[in-house]
Every structure is written in structure tokens, then in C-alpha cells.
Amino acid sequence: MKHILFSAFLIIALFATAQQTGNFGAKITPDGAISMTELHKKMGKKMELSPVKVKAPITAVCKKKGCWMTLKDEKGQDVRITFKDYAFFMPLDCTGKTATIEGKAYINVTPVEELRHYAVDGGMTEADAKKKFKKPSKELTFEATGVIIE
């Protein structure tokens, strides 16, 4: 009986760790991925760049269901990543890992309510989100079709 329980526990643990890394969404490869600095340079004054592949550290993920994440650029700024057609989600504990993403980079004006929503989903209190976000934000955003988490 001990062996059966131990085996079941081991299998569950393997599945739990297997889902924290790997390919999510469309199957992509890390070949040709650029840094966030290179993405900013390629964007220049463009409003959109597609397709593009970027590799960067994950700084945050939606704590409720993994429906968005942020990647840090070399200047320390976060870039919000959403997933095409809401078709896949990230593991809730992938913060600190490195991601390669492929999809569309674009400039987006995010309304105040949406900024507050993202902040609360990321673990901030509603009161703090209301204090922090008072005006819309024009920012680089990314819609990923596929993600690799290392």
C-alpha cells in the first residue's frame, strides 16, 4: 500500500512540475528570439510589429488564472503579455522563469479601469490600485500566440 501511495504522489508531483515549464499555445521554438531592447528598437515609431519573437524574464502572472503575464525589459519596465483569443493560460507560479514568446507587439492605450483590474489580479488591493492608477497608460503590449517557459 505504501508503494502505491508513494507512486501516486510521485506521478502527481511530476505532472505538477511538468506544467510549469514547456510550450503553451501554438508550438514555437526559441530560434530567432530577440531581447526586449531589440524589440523596442524594431518598434521605433511603429504602432505594431508582427510576427516577432522575444525572450525575457517573467516578472508577474495573473494570480487568478494565468490569463496574462509581464516580462521585464532591460530598463526595468514591465511589458504586459496577453494570449491570443484567450486560448491558453500560464502556470500561476511561473514568475522568475524565462519565457520566449511569439506573436504581435503593439502600442496600446490601456484604460484606468483595466489597469486597476490587472493590478488586483496581480495581487494588489483594490484601494491601492485606485490610488496608483488615475489616468490611462500608453504602453508597449504583446499578444502571444505561443509561449515557451524554461
> Please, which residues have CB within 8 angstroms of residue 12's CB and are 6 or more apart in sequence?
none
**Cα 55 from Cα 39, distance rounded (Å):** 10
Average pLDDT over residues 21-49: 95
Residue 115 sits in a domain whose CATH number is 2.40.50
Q: Is the pTM of this model over 0.85?
A: no
Sign of CA dihedral 109, 69, 88, 40: positive
The arithmetic mean of pLDDT across residues 137-147, rounded, is 95
Q: What is the structure's pLDDT at 136?
A: 95
Mind listing the pLDDT tens digit for each residue in 58-100?
Answer: 999 999 999 999 998 888 888 999 999 999 999 999 999 999 9
| Per-residue pLDDT at 17 | 39
**Which distant-in-sequence residues (6+ apart) come within 8 Å of 116 by Cβ?**
126, 129, 130, 133
Q: What is the pLDDT of residue 15?
A: 42
For 36-56, write each residue's pLDDT tens digit: 999 999 999 999 999 999 999
When pLDDT is cut at 50, 70 and 90, the band that residue 10 belongs to is very low
Count how many domains the chain has: 1
What long-range pairs does 128-136 form, CB within 8 A, spacing at least 24? 136/109, 136/110, 136/111, 136/112
The C-alpha torsion from 10 through 22 and 72 to 122, rounded to 10°, is: -60
**What domain range includes position 79?**
2-149
